[in-house]
Amino acid sequence: MELLKEKIVIEGKVLSDTVLKVDSFLNLQIDPLLMKEIGEEFANRFKDEVITKVLTIESSGIAPATMLGLTIGAPVVFARKKKSLTLSDNLYTSKVYSFTKKETNEISVSKDFLSPDDNVVIIDDFLANGEAVKGLLDIANQAGCKVVGVGIVIEKGFQDGGKVLRDQGIRVESLAIINSLNNGMVEFV
Ligand code: G4P
């Protein structure tokens, strides 16, 4: 997706050989026009599938997932990383290990909003080692949903999440795939 790649080149900051900062349009501030196009691009990539729910994880997955949901007319269900006051049981949960933060979090989704009748697409902002997506797949599995694929805004192709998922036969659609962040430069696949 050319607009996204331009935005990454112009506004992205390479923090290290493994981390790209995209706070100005994806993580701390959202560019709604770009996000709208991201939603439309995901809808186009998955147009051969009937999608009944979009599944994502807070916080940065919610904006792109919502734009996809808006485009295709499907509700967006999101996993929480912290237990909410009003949500104590009736939950699907899964453990997600973050290599970046070196910690394990329990993520949870309300059982009210996923069912075996659902055809789900999983959306997230970044794909690094794939741990968040694996947690969401686990939850979709517990709910008995069919997962038609995974949509990612920015995949770091030099980390193994994409390969691990594709090797399992999971359809992964990434809108920008980064080959390397070496020497402060963003190189796309
Ligand atoms: P994984 O799920 O693919 O294994 O990723 P990892 O544990 O390494 O990522 C932990 C968090 O860091 C996730 O966000 C993920 O989206 C984000 N992340 C990973 N690599 C990058 C990167 O190069 N740049 C940026 N900007 N983010 C990255 P999170 O902590 O859940 O944050 P949020 O969704 O609440 O914003």
CB atoms inside a 10 Å sphere around CB 126: 22
What is the mean pLDDT for each group of 10 consecutive residues in the chain (189 residues)? Answer: 97 97 97 98 98 97 98 98 76 91 92 97 97 98 98 98 98 98 96
Say if ligand 1 is within 6 A of residue 129 CB.
yes
* Single-letter amino acid, residue 83: K
* Nearest-atom index, ligand 1, CA of 133: 2
CATH fold for the domain made of 31-178: Rossmann fold (3.40.50)
DSSP 28: S
CA of residue 88 to ligand 1 center, whole Å: 26
pTM: 0.95
Nearest-atom number in ligand 1 for the CA of 128 is 3
Please give the pLDDT value at position 46.
98
The pLDDT of residue 23 is: 98
Per-residue pLDDT at 158: 98
